[in-house]
Amino acid sequence: MTSAVLQWLAFSTMLVDHIGYTFFPSLPVLRAVGRLSFPIFAFLLTEGFAHTSDLKKYAGRLFFFGCIAELPYQMMLYHRWVGFRPSNILFALLLSLGALYCAREGGLWLLGAGTLAVLAQAGGFSYGAYGVLLAMLFYSTREKRWAIPLVLTGCTLLYCWHHHSLFQIWAVFAAIPLLLYNGEKGRRAPRCLLYILYPVHLAVLSGLYFLQKSI
């Protein structure tokens, strides 16, 4: 399974999750499917971090499209604008990218990685410290593919314990496609396509929600 396939799998499961949240809240199976998306995105982030030739541009794309996506994200999630806050997944991935950089630099930079994890938790970022920790552990075990289920299960159980809910446990099934990853890029979509589709699908879903309510 190539990284291109993983990208579309992550986006597709996220889309199913958002459709379930917006239109079918009584069908938790759709939300359960969506639990697979973030671990795959976090894994792909570590692969991107390991192979990128321009970390600043990578971070810039996450920040730029994160800013664009925030309004439609809030309209889908809250059905109103509650003020700018870094709550969509692209900001969570940006913070994780920063933590990966700090961890790679080592030494006192490790304090920066820990600080970003705390910021993710305290600042209302999607998935909080779970997202940062998951990305860092995926990166540290890149040469030990067998550790993926252990890392994912351990982090997810901590998340479930903190939130007093086992619903996120469905995320452990993301280990299956991650174990099938063959390290190849595959036939990838244009570089910014998925970045563009993220705010677009949020805007479409929120628009359909308000249209449905107005009928």
Say how far apart CA 165 and CA 41 lie, in whole Å: 22
Query: What global pTM score does this model have?
Result: 0.95
pLDDT, tens digit (0-9, with 9 covering 90-100), for 163-203 = 999 999 999 999 999 999 998 988 877 778 999 999 999 99
φ, ψ of residue 207 in degrees (nearest 5): -65, -45
Say how far apart CA 191 and CA 48 lie, in whole Å: 12
The stretches of 52-127 forming alpha helices (DSSP H) are: 55-77, 89-105, 109-122
Could you tell me the CA-to-CA distances from 104 to 92, 131, 137 in Å, in that order? 18, 17, 12
User: What type of residue sits at position 86?
Assistant: P
pLDDT, tens digit (0-9, with 9 covering 90-100), for 30-50 = 999 999 999 999 999 999 999
The three-point CA angle 200-203-207 to 5° equals: 140
